[in-house]
């Protein structure tokens, strides 16, 4: 029975990896697709997945396809290949502002996905009880005296709990001294117990061994979702700066350096084991990372194409499409080579236990 449960858990985590890429890539490509359709750009194909075509249907001049490898997807726009540069319904035939919006839409939807996920997670954790216990360490003084997850600490040593940090304040004020806890169970009954905190060497302080929930209102939940992209972007930018200035041990290719598809999969696999909330928060952060990475001004990325549109606007005439495509092809080849190197590094980090994971 244990083996069966373990196998099911592993399958669930593998499914979480596939869901990760669907949540990252499909909305991104869907953003490009939606804006292209809205502006009348011809869309040759919208595919979910890569490789062999499993299912397809043509509708409105667009081939919709489901492919065998569910680790990606793409949108093929008219006017982007050598045989249809002059397509009047092609990408390059549209005004600069429309082309910019189409290119920005992929990252924009990634940001929107992150906002929705963080808002949803926050709304699922609404709490107006500052003493609500969400975790009790096994064999801790609190556990020994009967405090369990779901209970609510009402007062400690006569001090009524108004904020989650009030419990810690009392513990710190009387380190190692017996404290009188008054709590309420989920069924509404109250009880009291005298608990002596135990020294925790990892925290370097005396604790009773409980974790309380943050107080979250609907307004705070919405604010957390809307502001998440800002904080994630700052974190992403800080990470790039630290790598560029040599502040990360080992540099770009060290244990804490850049990561790719294997690293994302590893993180998603372990996040799923931590629970749905951890998993969704990881997906939200990776969605932001994907959107921001695509905006980097490098060939083969959306940011590189955005630079082309802006430079064409400044110079007042288009670039030679063949030369532009050659640059994009070389950029794509370099990007694929870099991704292959990152895959190797991710595998090496995981195999040697150096991958940072969820730390």
- Whole-angstrom Cα distance, residue 107 to residue 133? 38
User: Model confidence at 343, in pLDDT bands (50, 70, 90)?
Assistant: confident
Is the pLDDT confidence value at 358 over 60? no
Q: Where are the domains of the chain?
A: 2-125+260-351, 133-212
**What mean pLDDT do residues 210-224 have?**
93
Q: Which CATH superfamily is domain 133-212 in?
A: PDZ domain (2.30.42.10)
Helix H or strand E encompassing 350? helix 321-351
Q: Distances in Å between the alpha carbon of 110 and those of 67, 179, 308, 343, 354?
A: 22, 48, 22, 23, 29
Is the pLDDT confidence value at 73 over 80? yes
57 Cβ partners below 8 Å, 6+ apart? Answer: 63, 64
**What mean pLDDT do residues 82-89 have?**
83
Q: What are the pLDDT digits (tens) for 237-285? A: 888 888 888 887 777 777 777 888 888 888 888 888 888 898 999 999 9
Look over the chain and give the mean of its residue pLDDT values, rounded to a whole number.
89
User: Model confidence at 303, in pLDDT bands (50, 70, 90)?
Assistant: very high
Check residue 7 and give its pLDDT: 64
211 Cβ partners below 8 Å, 6+ apart? Answer: 133, 134, 135, 136
Q: What are the pLDDT digits (tens) for 190-214? A: 999 999 999 998 888 999 999 999 9
Is the pLDDT confidence value at 329 over 80? yes
- Whole-angstrom Cα distance, residue 22 to residue 178? 52
Percent of the chain predicted with pLDDT > 90: 58
- Higher pLDDT, residue 268 or 29: 29
- Whole-angstrom Cα distance, residue 211 to residue 2? 30
* Closest among 108, 116, 119, 118 to 30, alpha carbons compared: 108
316 Cβ partners below 8 Å, 6+ apart? Answer: none
Residues in the chain: 359
Check residue 2 and give its pLDDT: 58
Is the pLDDT confidence value at 26 over 60? yes
Check residue 357 and give its pLDDT: 62
Is the pLDDT confidence value at 48 over 70? yes
The DSSP-derived string for 93-131 is: GS-HHHHHHHHHHHHHHHHHHHHHHHHHHHHTT-B--TT
* Closest among 18, 77, 80 to 49, alpha carbons compared: 18
Is the pLDDT confidence value at 5 over 60? no
- Higher pLDDT, residue 358 or 89: 89
- Whole-angstrom Cα distance, residue 188 to residue 152? 10
Highest-pLDDT range among 11-20, 65-74, 255-264, 301-310? 301-310
Check residue 288 and give its pLDDT: 95
- Whole-angstrom Cα distance, residue 88 to residue 340? 37
Is the pLDDT confidence value at 230 over 90? yes
- Whole-angstrom Cα distance, residue 280 to residue 284? 6
**What mean pLDDT do residues 144-173 have?**
93
Q: What are the pLDDT digits (tens) for 282-295? A: 999 999 999 999 99
Is the pLDDT confidence value at 359 over 70? no
**What mean pLDDT do residues 217-228 have?**
95
- Whole-angstrom Cα distance, residue 196 to residue 221? 35
């Amino acid at each position: 029975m244990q083996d069966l449960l373990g196998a099911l858990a592993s399958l669930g985590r593998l499914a979480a990896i596939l869901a990760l890429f669907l949540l990252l890539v499909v909305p991104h490509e869907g953003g490009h697709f939606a804006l292209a359709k809205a502006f009348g750009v011809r869309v040759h194909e919208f595919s979910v997945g890569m490789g062999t075509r499993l299912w397809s249907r043509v509708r409105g001049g667009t081939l919709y396809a489901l492919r065998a490898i569910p680790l990606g997807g793409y949108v093929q726009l008219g006017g982007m290949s050598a045989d249809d540069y002059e397509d009047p319904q092609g990408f390059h035939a549209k005004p600069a502002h429309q082309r910019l919006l189409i290119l920005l839409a992929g990252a924009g939807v990634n940001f929107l996905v992150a906002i929705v996920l963080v808002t949803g997670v926050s709304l699922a954790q609404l709490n107006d009880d500052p003493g609500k216990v969400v975790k009790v360490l096994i064999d801790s003084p609190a556990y020994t005296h009967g405090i369990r997850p779901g209970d609510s600490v009402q007062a400690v040593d006569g001090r009524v709990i108004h904020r989650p940090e009030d419990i810690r304040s009392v513990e710190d004020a009387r380190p190692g001294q017996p404290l009188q806890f008054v709590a309420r169970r989920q069924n509404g009954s109250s009880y009291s117990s005298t608990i002596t905190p135990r020294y925790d060497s990892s925290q370097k302080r005396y604790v009773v061994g409980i974790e309380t929930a943050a107080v979250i209102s609907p307004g705070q939940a919405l604010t957390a979702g809307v502001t998440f992209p800002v904080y994630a972007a700052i974190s992403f930018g800080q990470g790039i700066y630290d790598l560029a200035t040599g502040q990360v041990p080992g540099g770009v290719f060290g244990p804490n350096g850049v990561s790719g598809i294997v690293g994302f999969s590893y993180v998603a696999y372990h996040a799923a084991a931590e629970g749905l909330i951890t998993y969704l928060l990881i997906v939200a952060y990776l969605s932001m990372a994907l959107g921001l990475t695509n905006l980097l001004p490098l060939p083969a990325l959306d940011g590189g194409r955005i630079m082309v549109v802006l430079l064409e606007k400044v110079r007042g005439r288009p670039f030679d499409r063949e030369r532009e495509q050659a640059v994009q092809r070389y950029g794509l080849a370099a990007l694929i080579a870099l991704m292959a190197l990152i895959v190797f590094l991710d595998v090496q980090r995981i195999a040697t236990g150096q991958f940072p994971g969820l730390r």
